[in-house]
Structure formats: structure tokens, C-alpha cells
Amino acid sequence: MYKILEKERWSESVFSYIIDAPYVAKAAQPGQFIVLITRPTGERIPLTIADSSAEEGWVQIVFQVVGKSTLELSLMEKNDELYSFAGPLGTASELENFGGKVVIIGGGIGIAPIHPIARKLKEMGNYVVSVIGARTKELLIMEDKIREASNELIVVTDDGSYGRKALVTEPLDEMLKTEGENIKKIWAIGPPIMMKFCTKTAVANGRGNDIIVSLNPIMVDGTGMCGACRVTVGGKTKFACVDGPEFIGGLVDFDEFMGRQRQYIEKEKNALESYKAKLQKEGRV
């Protein structure tokens, strides 16, 4: 079970896997995630469901190598089996025909999870404007798929190596200023700092309640049993794994959220270093 059916490398550090997981595929909806473990001594890592097929029984995950567990995952090969793969977790995105334009923003690895959301919103009759951004051209993923899932696409890079040289917040700000209420809803998924600034932009335009962000705090079980994932939303403590991961951006305490993500940074760094050293010794890198 949980066999890797396809493995693709999309950039230096981004990989796409298709996993054999018929139960998860059957129930998966946009906005939800899975938790996987590579091998019995591994940790539980949450990853968003980038795509799935109930008929064919597979789930796609797209991940970026940031630490030991994702590095280890990236070293697995087609036909290898994951030790554990559970989901779908979290609540689904609340998608409907909002009767106008919807702006969908994906930054970096966050482009993968916005894909099913954009596609579904377009299917439902919304006019979807997608804004995707990356630090540099090499890191931009899924451009064609997002274009297909949208009515309009704006591409930005931080360094101007491709598309417009801008941060994703810039086109968002312009649209909110020129089109105002015609923009009914905003989704922003990407690095925490990007979601924070997209929210700031929305709030500055009086739209703090119309922006949805997807939070990725540190999790353990992912099913509401531990509280590791707690975030403050609208002054209340929420469990991102069951109450989210999507929340109204304008209500999120981003500073607390980002601080909590750094809890294990020292241990994680050491684990990554010693794992890399081990790989080197074994001649695997």
C-alpha cells in the first residue's frame, strides 16, 4: 500500500509524487491534506493534496525539501512504499459561485494546493484570476496547469527572471484598487510571510474578511488529538488540522503562527546536518 506510482522533479528542491491511496482519493476535496510517514522511525509530515482521482485511486503531493523528512522523502523512488499515508484531513475549501471575480494567489510551493481550488472555482462559474509567483524562474511550478484552471493568469518573480518583476501582493493591491467590490473573494497560499502580506494588502483595502489563507503549523496527529497545531484566529484558539487549515486571513494572528513554526528549528537543523553527513558517507549524494 501507499506505493509511489510516479515521481517527478519539478525544480532543484520541488518534487511531485503520485501515491496509490484509493481510500484517501475517494474522499479527497480541495483544501484538504494528508499526513505521511516515510519509514517506521520517521515523523508524521502533513502535505496538501495537490490533486487526486477517485476513479484511479491516486493522490498527488507536491513538496519542497526543507529538512530531514522531506529530504528523505525526496530520496524515495518510484515503486517504493510509504510507511503511512492518512487522510484526507482538515475541512475542505468552501467553494461556490461567488458571482464575480475570484483572485487566487499561489507562492512557491503554495502553487500546488491552489490548483484544485482554482479549477473547481472556475468549473463553478467564477471568473478566476490566478497570480503565481516564485523567487526565480527555476522555482516556478505548474504554470500550464494553473493557466488551464484559470480565466486569467499573472506570473511574477522576485528577481524578474520570468513574468513580471514583483511580489504577488502588487497585482493583488492593484486589482483591489481598480476593481473593488467586483472581486468577491481571495485565496492566498504560500510561505507564511507571503500570506501575512497578502492579508495586510487585503486589510488595507478593507477586505480582510474576504481573504482565505491556508495555515501550515507544526502538526503531530493532524486529527484534533494533540493541539500542536493551535493558532489564534479572531482571538480564539483553533486547531488548524480540524478547524482549518483554511482560515479568514484578516482574523489570523500571523506573528504567533510564525513564531510557533520555529519551535524546533535547532533540533531540525542538527537532524538535517547529521542526515546529510550520513548520506555523504554512504555515497548517496
Partner 1 sequence: MAERIKAAEKFKRNRVPMPEQPPEKRVKNFDEVPLGYTLEDAIEEAQRCLQCKPAACIEGCPADVHIPQFIDKVIDEDLEGAFKEIKITNGLPAVCGRVCPQEEQCEEKCVMNKKGKPIAIGRLERYVADWAREHGVGDEKPQKSSQPKKIAIVGSGPAGLACATDLAKLGYDVTIYEALHKPGGVLIYGIPEFRLPKSIVDYEINKIKELGVKIITNYIIGLTESVDSLIEKYDAVFLGNGAGAPRFMGIPGENLNGVYSASEFLTRSNLMRAFDFPKYDTPINVGKRVAVIGGGNVAMDAVRTAKRLGAEDAIIVYRRSRTEIPARAEEIEHAEAEGIQFELLTNPVRVIGDENGNVKGLECLRMELGEPDESGRRRPIPIEGSNFVLDVDNVIIAIGQSANPIVARSATGVETNKWGYFVADEETGHTTHPKVWAGGDIVTGAATVILAVGAGKKAAESINKYLEEQG
Ligand X SMILES: Cc1cc2nc3c(=O)[nH]c(=O)nc-3n(C[C@H](O)[C@H](O)[C@H](O)COP(=O)(O)OP(=O)(O)OC[C@H]3O[C@@H](n4cnc5c(N)ncnc54)[C@H](O)[C@@H]3O)c2cc1C
Binding residues for ligand FES (CB under 6 A):
219-222, 224-229, 239, 241
- Choose among 107, 85, 109: nearest CA to 14: 109
Residue 248 contacts which entry, ligand FES, partner 1, ligand X, none (Cβ below 5-8 A, type-dependent):
none
SS3 at position 18: strand
Spatial contact of 266 and 224, defined as CB atoms under 8 Å apart: no
Pick from 242, 248, 276, 279: which binds partner 1 (CB under 8 A)? 242
Residue ranges that bind ligand X, judged by CB under 6 A:
33, 45-48, 62-64, 66-70, 109, 112-113, 216-219, 245, 261-262, 265, 268, 272
Q: Does 209 bind partner 1 (CB under 8 A)?
A: no
In the bound state with ligand X, the residue whose beta carbon lies nearer, of 170 and 268, is 268
CA distance 257 to 67: 19
Q: Which of 17, 58, 63, 85 binds partner 1 (CB under 8 A)?
A: 85
Looking at beta carbons only, is 52 or 216 nearer to ligand FES?
216
CA atoms of 83 and 39, how far apart (whole Å): 5
Residue 69 makes contact with partner 1 by CB under 8 A = yes
Give min distance, CB of 198 to partner 1, in A: 23
Positive or negative torsion for Cα 105, 118, 45, 215: positive
Burial of 236 per CB tally in 10 Å (0-12, 13-18, 19+): exposed
Contacts of 262 (CB under 8 A, 6+ apart): none
- Residue whose C-alpha is closest to residue 214's, from 106, 53, 140: 106
Stretch that binds partner 1, among 10-18, 118-126, 162-170, 266-274 (CB under 8 A): 266-274
Q: Are 155 and 132 in contact (CB under 8 A)?
A: yes
Q: Is 44 in the site for partner 1 (CB under 8 A)?
A: yes
- Nearest residue (CB) to ligand X, 177 versus 267: 267
The residues binding partner 1 (CB under 8 A) are: 23-24, 27, 37, 41-44, 68-69, 83-89, 220-221, 223-228, 230-232, 237, 242, 256, 259-260, 262-264, 267-268, 270-271, 274
